[in-house]
Amino acid sequence: MTYTGAALLGLAFAVALDLVVLRTNLLRRKAFWTAYAIVLGFQLVVNAVLTGQRLVVYSPGAILGPRLLYAPVEDLAFGFSLVLQTLAWWVWWGRRANSRRATSRRTSQARPNPAAASDTRRRLPTDTRRSSTR
C-alpha cells in the first residue's frame, strides 16, 4: 500500500471512530471545525519546516506527487485523522465522566438515604464547584 492509500484509510478510520464507534459527532460541530482550522494553520508551518529541511523524507513512489508548502498532500489526511481521533477520544472520555456524574446525582436524589443526610452539608459544595472533568 502507498502512503496515499494509507492516508485515505486513516481518514476513513477517524471518521468512523467519530460518527459510528464513539458517536462523538465532532464532524457536525462548529467547535471542532474552528479548532481544526486553527490547528491546520500551524500544521502547515510545522510540516513545512520538517519536510523543507528534509528531516522527514518521503519516497516518491509512495505519494501522488503534489505538495503543499513542501509537504505531500497526503499529510493533510494524516493530520486531519490525528486531530479528529484525538478530539473524539477527548470528548468521549469527558462525556463518559459527565454522564456518570449526572447519573449518580440523580440516583442519590431519587432515593434519599437517611445515612447520607448528615453528609449533605459536606456534599453540597461539590455541585457548585467547577467540574473537574468538564
Which residue ranges make up the site for other proteins (CB under 8 A)?
1-3, 6, 10, 13, 24-26, 29-32, 34-35, 38-39, 42-43, 46, 49-50, 53-59, 61-63, 82-83, 85-87, 89-95, 97-99, 101-102, 131-134
Please write down the long-range contacts of 126-134, taking CB distance under 8 Å and 24 or more positions apart. Answer: 131/98, 131/101, 133/93, 133/94, 133/97, 133/98, 133/101, 134/94, 134/98
Nearer to other proteins, 54 or 114 (CB): 54
Our CB check for other proteins shows the closer of 122 and 134 to be 134
What one-character DSSP code corresponds to residue 53? T
* Residue number with CB closer to other proteins (54 or 115): 54
Euclidean distance between CA atoms 2 and 78, whole angstroms: 13
Residue 7 or 117 having the CB closest to other proteins = 7
Q: Kindly state the smallest distance separating residue 15's Cβ from other proteins, in Å.
A: 14
Alpha carbons 71 and 3: distance in angstroms, whole number: 13
